[in-house]
């Protein structure tokens, strides 16, 4: 049995990795491939039987995994950001979410025959989108900035709020079916809130006072989260999920608590947990579905797609100034994701154990809605955006990894040339200086899971690796080659070719082409700026072409970029020599003695 368990877990890990990789490759939400893999392994192929494989461990494994997923999601809810997210987003995550919850409950009640208590729970679970499904879709969809920011922020904010709604409704259902009075329900909620708040305070105290060494902080946070979850459940049954949700929200909104590393760790852990968990959950589905279940699920999906979401968007966007075209696209895009799948499965297990009639329908109906929304919207949203004329044109903006003087100088010049520029780095001093220069910034590693959720790449089509960290530069370039394409990613050398081993030089060339001339390194560029060299933009004409520019500013001038007649950015890089023509704007690094005073 132990050999079989080890083999199956290893196989699930490999399949989960492949599903995540495939999702990254085709820019679709990973949950789609994970659920399909579980369905193929379980009800279709009969290879995986989670109940037989894990036995009594199934419920604890699912419970602890969902607890960590909810904690990680709730960490991202920052109340201070709510004031700046706009009227429509606030509507979508407040009264709009309540409208969606109620309408989805009505659909579940009348199409699937669910009791009103389970129907409300279904509505709470499925009114939630989330960044893990929205962000990959937006990268393929590429709508205008207003739509993209609204959908992205909706997913970020409603993810933990929707989980909180669902947990509270679940607690009410459990209390009613166990014959508890309203006082028991309130005490359960109070226990979850208190344990969650105390857990957040304790962890924040330990982090602020540095009682936990840095290399143990992730381990300590994990232990405290699971301890809070277990302790809350022991004091008041089923209050643990509320406790970890409150703990995450409280910790994420505390001042002077550095949780970025913990958040990164939890995001990596969540990827692993989600990959294994969703395969397990999908494999538990019975096939064929009970009579009428498939058609009920399809009817609910159609109602959610064509009735519930449009009404929600219309109600939430009243008085916002959004055009009907923007509202139409937003009404079409609302894929369901991790919270709906993971929490519904856990609730279904618990409610079935309590003997709640109809609870077995919760998971298949949620999964049908997830698969339906992801597949339909991924296939049709981009053509619809083009037809509605709310799609972004070809992205010409530039993502720059780095924030030192070189990155800021190049970024500022490109910004002044009319390109959208975004500087990303985890060097706070450099980011602060970039913001003072009027540049858009992202504080963090652009190749991290946190960046995948929060980095706004709308309008960005190229990436320049200008970081002083050679290895991280290479990793970021490799990461964004799949995002933008191999011809849209470049790096500035950290070492000259003669300073690099043959193997390292080959690897660098294999990854991404180097910027500018062969001898140009990051250090040399920085030294030239210190010595008074300046980056200059000049328009070329028939009477003042590139040879005339070189004659006036000297042959030592270094061509960096060109902007052609169509406004596209051309990059000077190895094996890609530019030949500027009249009508272009050239961006050149010129020596101080050659640059005339402005």
Q: What is the mean pLDDT of the chain?
A: 80
CB atoms within 10 A of CB 47: 11
Asked if the model's pLDDT at residue 436 lies above 60, the reply is yes
What is the pLDDT confidence band of residue 106, given thresholds at 50, 70 and 90?
A: very high
Q: What is the pTM of this model?
A: 0.69
Asked if the model's pLDDT at residue 228 lies above 80, the reply is yes
* pLDDT tens-digit series, residues 282-317: 887 777 777 788 899 999 999 999 999 999 999 988
What's residue 370's pLDDT?
87
Query: Which CATH number describes the domain made up of 2-388?
Result: 1.20.1530.20
Same fold, 2-388 and 397-590: no
What's residue 598's pLDDT?
42
**Two structure tokens written together for 560:** 């960096």
What is the pLDDT confidence band of residue 507, given thresholds at 50, 70 and 90?
A: very low
What is the pLDDT confidence band of residue 102, given thresholds at 50, 70 and 90?
A: very high
Asked if the model's pLDDT at residue 420 lies above 90, the reply is no
Most confident of the ranges 50-59, 195-204, 266-275, 472-481: 195-204
Asked if the model's pLDDT at residue 505 lies above 70, the reply is no
What is the residue extent of each domain of the chain? 2-388, 397-590
Phi, psi torsion values for 490, nearest 5 degrees: -140, 160
Q: Please provide the DSSP assignment of 467-485 as one string.
A: -S-HHHHHHHHHHHHHHH-
Asked if the model's pLDDT at residue 93 lies above 60, the reply is yes
DSSP state letter for 563: E
Q: CB-based burial of residue 167 (10 Å sphere; 0-12 exposed, 13-18 middle, 19+ buried)?
A: buried
Packed helices 131-141 and 30-39: angle between N→C axes, nearest 10 degrees: 110
Q: Which CATH number is 397-590's, of 3.40.50.720, 3.40.50.300, 3.40.50.970, 3.40.980.10?
A: 3.40.50.720
Q: Which residues contact 438 (CB under 8 A, 6 or more apart)?
A: 412, 415
H or E element that contains 229: helix 217-235
Peptide bond preceding 288 in cis form (omega within 30 of 0): yes
What is the pLDDT confidence band of residue 264, given thresholds at 50, 70 and 90?
A: low
Q: Which comes out higher in pLDDT, residue 307 or 273?
A: 307
Phi, psi torsion values for 14, nearest 5 degrees: -65, -45
Phi, psi torsion values for 143, nearest 5 degrees: -80, 180
Q: Which comes out higher in pLDDT, residue 3 or 440?
A: 440
What's residue 267's pLDDT?
66
What's residue 165's pLDDT?
78
* pLDDT tens-digit series, residues 535-548: 888 888 888 888 88
What's residue 29's pLDDT?
77
Give the torsion sign (CA, 424, 427, 433, 436). Answer: positive
Asked if the model's pLDDT at residue 503 lies above 50, the reply is no
């Amino acid at each position: 049995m132990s050999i079989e368990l080890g083999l199956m877990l290893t196989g699930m890990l490999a399949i989960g990795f492949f599903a995540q990789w495939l999702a990254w490759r085709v820019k679709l939400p990973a949950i789609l491939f994970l659920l399909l893999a579980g369905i193929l392994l379980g009800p279709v192929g009969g290879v995986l039987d989670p109940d037989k494989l894990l036995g009594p461990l199934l419920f604890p494994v699912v419970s602890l995994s969902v607890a960590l997923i909810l904690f990680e999601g709730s960490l991202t809810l920052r109340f201070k950001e709510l004031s700046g997210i706009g009227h429509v987003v606030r509507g979508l995550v407040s009264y709009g979410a309540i409208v969606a919850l109620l309408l989805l409950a009505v659909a579940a009640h009348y199409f699937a025959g669910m009791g009103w208590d389970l129907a409300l729970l279904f509505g709470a679970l499925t009114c939630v989108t989330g960044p893990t499904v929205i962000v990959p879709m937006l990268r393929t969809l590429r709508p205008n900035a207003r739509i993209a920011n609204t959908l992205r922020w909706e997913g970020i904010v409603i993810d933990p709020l929707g989980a909180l709604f669902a947990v509270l409704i679940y607690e009410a259902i459990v209390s009613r079916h166990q014959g508890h009075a309203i006082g028991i329900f309130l005490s359960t909620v109070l226990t979850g809130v208190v344990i969650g708040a105390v857990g957040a305070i304790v962890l924040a105290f330990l982090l602020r006072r540095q009682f936990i060494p840095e290399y143990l902080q992730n381990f300590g946070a994990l232990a405290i989260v699971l301890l809070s979850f277990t302790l809350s459940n022991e004091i008041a049954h089923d209050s643990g999920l509320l406790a970890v949700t409150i703990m995450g929200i409280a910790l994420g909104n505390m001042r002077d608590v550095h949780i970025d590393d913990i958040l990164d760790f939890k995001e990596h852990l969540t990827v692993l947990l989600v990959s294994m968990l969703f395969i397990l959950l999908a494999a538990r589905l019975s096939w064929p579905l009970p009579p009428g279940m498939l058609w009920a699920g399809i009817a609910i999906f159609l109602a959610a797609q064509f009735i519930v979401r449009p009404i929600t968007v219309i109600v939430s966007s009243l008085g916002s100034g959004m055009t009907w075209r923007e509202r139409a696209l937003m009404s079409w895009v609302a894929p369901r994701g991790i919270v709906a799948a993971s929490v519904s499965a856990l609730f279904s297990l618990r409610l079935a154990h309590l003997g709640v009639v109809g609870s077995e329908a919760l998971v298949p109906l949620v999964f049908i809605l997830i698969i339906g929304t992801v597949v339909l919207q991924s296939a049709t949203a981009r053509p619809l955006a083009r037809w509605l004329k709310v799609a972004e044109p070809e992205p010409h903006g530039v993502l720059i990894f780095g924030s030192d003087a070189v990155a800021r100088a190049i970024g500022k010049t490109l910004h002044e040339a009319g390109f959208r520029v975004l500087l990303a780095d985890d060097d706070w001093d450099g980011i602060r200086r970039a913001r003072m220069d009027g540049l858009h910034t992202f504080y963090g590693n652009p190749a991290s899971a946190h960046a995948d959720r929060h980095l706004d790449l709308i309008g960005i089509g190229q990436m320049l690796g200008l970081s002083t960290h050679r290895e991280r530069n290479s990793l970021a370039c490799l990461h964004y080659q799949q995002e933008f394409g191999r011809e849209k990613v470049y790096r500035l050398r950290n070492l000259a070719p003669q300073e690099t081993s043959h193997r390292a030089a080959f690897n660098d060339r294999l990854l991404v082409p180097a910027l500018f001339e062969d001898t140009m390194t990051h250090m040399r560029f920085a030294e030239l700026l210190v010595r008074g060299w300046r980056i200059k933009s000049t328009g070329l004409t028939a009477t003042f072409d590139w040879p005339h520019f070189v004659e006036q500013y000297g042959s030592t001038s270094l061509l960096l970029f060109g902007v052609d007649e169509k406004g596209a950015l051309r990059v000077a890089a190895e094996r890609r020599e530019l030949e500027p023509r009249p009508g272009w704007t050239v961006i050149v690094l010129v020596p101080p003695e050659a640059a005339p005073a402005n």
